[in-house]
Amino acid sequence: MVERLTVIFFIFLCLLLGFYLILSPWDALFGPWADNYILAFISDRTGLPVIQRAVASTWFRGAVTGLGVLNLVIGFWEIAHFNKSVEQLERSSSAGGIE
């Protein structure tokens, strides 16, 4: 039962993170992408304002979106292979890998 819950939580995490990484760089709902306090603090501390410009670029946003798509693919792959993933976790648990 624990193995099933582990796989379900992993799938949920992959799907949630994937949707967030796809939407957050482009949608104003999550706030301004390159105008946040942490990014301004890091670029001021390091003395590299180019960090803020790089994060604001569409290339960087596209890369983050690509990571989101990758997370969705992993989540859907895990859904398709749910029973196999649970069996592998059960075998590793019974072999003494997890106690």
Is 19 part of a structural domain of the chain?
A: yes
Whether residue 39 lies inside any domain: the answer is yes
Per-residue pLDDT tens digits for 21-76: 999 888 877 777 777 888 888 888 998 888 888 888 889 999 999 999 999 999 99
The CA-atom distances, in angstroms, between 85 and each of 3, 7, 21, 25, 94 are 9, 7, 25, 32, 14
- Domains: count for the chain: 1
Domain limits at 21? 2-94
pTM of the predicted structure, to 2 decimals: 0.78
Assigned domain for 76 exists: yes
**Is residue 86 domain-resident?**
yes
pLDDT in tens, 71-88: 999 999 999 999 999 999
The number of C-alpha atoms within 13 Å of 85 and in the hemisphere containing its C-beta is 19
**Residue 96, Ramachandran bin (φ over 0: left; ψ between -120 and 50: alpha; else beta):** left
| Residue 99 placed within a domain | no
Phi/psi for 72 (5° steps) reads -65, -40
Residue 6 lies in a domain: yes
Asked if residue 73 lies in contact with residue 30, where contact means CB atoms within 8 angstroms, the answer is no
Residue 62 lies in a domain: yes
